[in-house]
Structure 1
Amino acid sequence: MSLNITLINTSDLGGASKSCQRLFWGLLSSNFSSSLLLLNNHSLDHDFVRSFMKEGPQFLSNSKLARLKRGANRLWKEMQIRQFYSNQPRSFSPHISRFDLTYHPAYQKADILNLHWVSHFLDFPSFFTKNNKPIVWTLHDMFPFTGGYHYDEDENISSHVSYLRKQEKLKEKWYQDQKIIFVAPSKWMYNEARSSAVLQGKAILHIPYGVDTQLYRPLDQGFCRNILRIQNPRLPVILFVAQNIRDKRKGFSYLVEALKQIKEPICLLAVGKKPRKSFKNHLPPGSQEYYVGTITDEALMSIIYNTADLFVIPSLQDNLPNTVLESLACGTPVVGFQVGGIPDMVNNGENGFLAPLRSSESLFEAIELGINNKWDRNQISIWAKTNFSLEKQAKAYIKLFKRIAS
């Protein structure tokens, strides 16, 4: 049976995009016909990766009337977006866009669509009116079943409750006649989707993300520390990734307060945006801190994970963070809160510790346990490879695609 699958994502950047790309490469490695359609493609160079912004306009009618209609439609939608959405936090996305991806050949040639993070790309009203293809929608966050927020922690502080409920009703209507299956990467997201009013009666499955275990694997720690020029090899190295420290959901303030309670000197290794204030004054005397900036090279990230003795993720709500999978695949234990999909990956005392309470004290205690525990890094990596390989993820999706086609 020959099937053409088109994976659709807004960009080639970000955590959801990374997960989407990993599934794409996993399908191709399994010799399964797939293409990836992106609104914006900054760096991916592959025959089966298509960019809507670069290619889309050429597939539209170029008559004067058609151009005028598209221009009027675009202005109307942009006015709508500015009127309400511009005052919303970053974690809020509109259900409308000025794009119609059904014009693109990657859409038209597809037997099955695999939607991923499609905010600002997918125009819900026009897409679900025109679409007649089966859909598999991978739930990277809650946006497909909320009124516009990507996580309900942000929705709980919204003053536009009536508007959000209206948007949820519209989503129920848009999905009603669609042949659509939702896939949750974490058990937590699976349960959230199952309990949502928007997805009542819809098929929801659980398929975890995969991680490239050839790239993310145990390396010699001394070699990795030499590359990063860690000066004191005797200090325990604690790693954290701070791509967006202003996002309260990422729990950065809890990490700051937890680190203040550590008594023995440590080496703090940070990836991402540097905080305005240094941690140095909050760490024990003799501690060191290293900021390596934003890292896009995955081979270098593997070296960074292998440098660390412990990876700390203080997220207050998260799906199935790639950083946790990557750390475990490298054999580096993880500490985080017992929230979201993190318990799917972290087993207390085996490959990390979970802080049971959402407090800096609880996080500190878990960090202390993590520093003082004797870890079997090879076993941690083997467990990650067994449960979260790209091959395992691709096999589950291929089975699903074939079931839909039959």
Structure 2
Amino acid sequence: MKVLHLSTSDIDNGGARAAYRLHQGLDAIGCTSQMLVRAKFSHDSTVIAEKSLLTKLGPPSSSLPLRLYPNQNSAMFSPQWLPDVLASRAKEIDPDIINLHWVCNGYLQIETLPKFNKPLIWTLHDLWPFTGGCSYSKECQQYQDTCGDCPQLLSGKSQDLSRWVWQRKVKAWANLNLTIVATSAWMADCARASSLFKHLRIETIPLGLDTDKYKPIDKRFARELLNLPQDKQLVLFGSANPASDPRKGFDLLRAALQQLASSGWQDRLELVVVGSTRPQEPIELGFPIHYLGFMHDDLALATIYSAADVTVVPSIQEAFGQMASESLCCGTPVVAFNATGLKDVVDSQQNGYLATPFEIEDLANGIVWVLEDPARYQKLQDRARAKGLQEFASEVQARRYLSLYKEILSQV
């Protein structure tokens, strides 16, 4: 069997790494797998970079329609209007089945999907495939109907860009041989409620990772490598733009940590931030913050998780929560809110803590609950690693996909 994965890139962000890990996992169990990407950052010969002029024009052209909405907020919105050459490139590769991943930011035009003439699987890394253009809908549920009067565009009109994008999807995707794979129960429920995907087959398969790379490393050694203090309890948070991406929940974490700093924890805790460099405007918590910058090397990330005492993922909406699964595999408990995709990853008071959405006080309580009892903490670590091996191992994910591919192809 020959599988082709379509993704905007391979390893430079969470969605890309998720696609690449599945690609690697399939290859490891003997399935012929390739990736076709716009931006290649790995040195993997099975990843093909599409370098046509249209592909290069995608990112700068993608946002042009958004200029009609000068008051839009900063959330990701992708019209996907520019033509592409992916159908012809896929025809040259001639796979048996095509697995779509995150293909926004001008990479794949909506109208290209029926041109593939192959069975399609779409792994949902966000909500974009079934919305009128947004990656995360926040409180809006208009994707369950027709989209329009988009709160992220602040359009004030029913016939706006989101309605146009939604209508294009309805028209172009009416007769696709398309199967949806959600990465969490929450994502599956959202897809089933959507007007675009409610009639399609929807499966749930968690994201996988290499548990031989993401494994516990001696904490003292990890901290020495990263030049982190040995005598503090370290809280880990990850985001490319901590202060400017509300969906990642940093404001909630900041308030929770400030609460802890004023209640006797200020001399015990320090924060570690991965994915971001030190901002120009300092963030005050009452204790030091260590900025480690962006990392996409698996060993470096495993070292960071192992150096931390707890990973906090306070996202408002998360399709899955790959940072949480990575942390668990490294034996580091996770605190998150009991909402969206993270509910599938963290088992509250078993390998971490799920706080009441979106209560700052309970988020702070969760951090304390994880850290305050050494004997309990050791059990949390053991259970974290055990869940990682059982549910998030790359081979487990790859075999579930391979079984699904075979079933779909048997019906063609």
Determine if the TM-score, normalized by the shorter chain, exceeds 0.5.
Answer: yes
CA distance in 2, matches of 1:399, 1:204: 15
CA distance in 1, matches of 2:62, 2:235: 45
Aligned equivalent of 1:397: 401
Equivalent position SS for 1:17: helix
CA distance in 2, matches of 1:260, 1:86: 35
CA distance in 1, matches of 2:225, 2:113: 51
For 1:86 and 1:404, the matched residues in 2 are separated by 44
**RMSD (Å), alpha carbons:** 2.3
Moved more, 264-273 or 15-24: 264-273
How far apart, CA to CA, are the structure 1 residues paired with 2:408 and 2:291? 47
> Take 2:80 and 2:370, find their aligned partners in 1: how far apart are those partners?
43
- Per-residue deviation, 1:46: 2.3
How far the C-alpha of 1:78 sits from its partner, in A, is 6.9
Counterpart of 1:319 in structure 2 is 319
Give the letter aligned to residue 285 of structure 2. Answer: H
AA partner of residue 100 (structure 2): L
Q: Secondary structure of the equivalent of 2:159? A: helix
> Which among 212, 216, 219 is matched to residue 217 of structure 2?
219
Given that residues 218 and 378 in structure 1 are in contact (C-alpha distance below 8 angstroms), is that contact kept between their aligned partners in structure 2? Answer: no
Cα offset, 1:314, TM superposition? 1.3
Structure 1 residues 107 and 172, CA gap change in structure 2 (3 angstroms): farther
Cα distance change on mapping 1:135 and 1:149 into 2, 3 Å = same
Identity of aligned residues (%): 32
Structure 1 match to 2:143: none
Distance 2:69 2:2 in 1: 35
CA offsets 1:88-108 (integer angstroms, 9 cap, x no match):
534101121242211215665
Q: Is the Cα contact below 8 Å between 2:79 and 2:165 reproduced in 1?
A: no
Bigger drift between 346-355 and 167-176 goes to: 167-176
Which residue does 1:370 correspond to in 2? Answer: 370
TM-superposed CA distance for 1:157, in Å, is: 4.1
Unaligned 5+ runs, structure 2: 141-149
Instruction: For 1:45-84, list aligned pairs within 5 A.
Output: 45-53=43-51, 56=52, 81=65, 83-84=67-68
Aligned to 2:110: 124
The DSSP-based 3-state class of the residue aligned with 1:162 is: coil
Does the CA contact (< 8 Å) of 1:187 and 1:344 recur in 2?
Answer: yes
Question: Matches of 1:401 and 1:202 in 2, distance apart?
Answer: 16
Which residue is equivalent to 1:305? 305
Q: How many residues align?
A: 380
User: What is the aligned counterpart of 1:159 among 138, 154, 157?
Assistant: 154
**Which one of the candidate residues 120, 131, 141 is aligned to 1:135?**
120
Aligned residue for 1:261, secondary structure, equals: helix
Give the aligned partner of residue 379 of structure 1: 383
> More deviation in 242-251 or 15-24?
242-251
- How far residue 175 of structure 1 moved from its aligned partner, in angstroms, is 1.5
CA contact (8 A) 2:222 2:307 kept: yes
Alignment of 1:258 onto 2:256? yes
- Measured after TM superposition, the shift of residue 184 of structure 1 is 0.2
Deviation track 1:369-403 (CA, whole Å, cap 9, x = no partner) reads 12214222233202211111100100011001111
TM-score (ref. length: structure 2):
0.86
AA at the equivalent of 2:395: E
d(CA) in 2 for partners of 1:9 and 1:313?
Answer: 25
Residue 380 and residue 289 in structure 1: after superposition, are their counterparts in 2 closer, same or farther (change >3 A)?
same
Contact persistence 1:172–1:199 (CA under 8 A)? no
Could you report, residue by residue, the CA deviation over 1:37-95 in whole angstroms, capped at 9, with x for unpaired residues? 00121x22222211111xx46xxxxxxxxxxxx8xx99xx7796465478753410112
Greater Rg over alpha carbons, structure: 1
Q: Which amino acid aligns with 2:382?
A: N
